[in-house]
Amino acid sequence: ESKRMELAAKLRICIEAKGGKAEDLFKTIAGEDSDEMTKEEIWAFLEEHKCDIQREKLDALFPDAPAQQKDKEHDDKATTTNSKKKSSAAIITKERFTRVMRIFYKVVKEIVLSNSLLIDQSSQLRRMDVGEVMEVLQGPMLDPSVGVYRINGKALKDAASGWVTVAGNQGVTFLLPGGNVFKVVAPTVLAEDSKDTEGKVVVHQLKAGQILEVLEWTRTSRSALGVTRIKGKVQGHGAVGWATVMGSNGTKYLEP
């Protein structure tokens, strides 16, 4: 996990230094019209922007597939898209790259979510409670007016977007990296579909105490009736599917 966080941070710093955002990374490295990339393209991007990271860490996150598997991946991909990569290169899909690049922060002390990087020019959107999780879209970036680092992100609780302070200038910490794993606190189902509907196909019955590694997340609706669902992988089991964090009736099934 530390290797993944380091690589994600380095790549984010590179793109943000150019005025871009993390969401621009894939097309910047792979090319505007490509839906895949290779590890060598990532390494070339890191070297071009003088991002100091050991090659072994990149290899650990994106290990080379056996030759037969590479050929199969390439053949399968070629049936659905015009692949620009050679079968000798390990293919990294946009979905796989995005999962590695995701960074989450967890609220450890109540903090205000606001609408601007600069605190003295921002308006309060809402308060974030201890235990909430935010996916980082930009930053941490320095607010020079008060000398604190802030991140721009989206709260998993309700998809609210805004800026929050990581740590105050008096040494108080509000956010820490984390929130990419959730613990099952009440029995629920891991389903095939992201939609929380009746008759959904069940992949796995989740039991209290099991741990889910977050792969992606969504809200079923923008309204207050919507619920947050995460796509996760069950640690020690391998099942992958969607589960509801908290039901519309307030029942909590998962917690970070």
Instruction: Please list the rounded mean pLDDT of every run of 10 residues in the chain (256 residues).
Output: 84 85 88 89 89 85 63 46 53 88 94 95 96 93 93 94 94 92 95 81 94 92 81 92 91 93
- C-alpha to C-alpha distances, 141 to 16, 137, 166, 186, 223, nearest whole angstrom: 9, 11, 10, 37, 30
In terms of Cα–Cα distance, which of 83, 81, 99 is closest to 91?
83
CA 121 remoteness from chain centre: 28
DSSP-derived letter for residue 252 is B
> Which residues touch 59 (CB under 8 Å, ≥6 apart)?
39
pTM here?
Answer: 0.79
Q: Provide the β-strand partners of residue 204.
A: 190
What would you measure as the largest C-alpha separation in the chain, in angstroms?
58
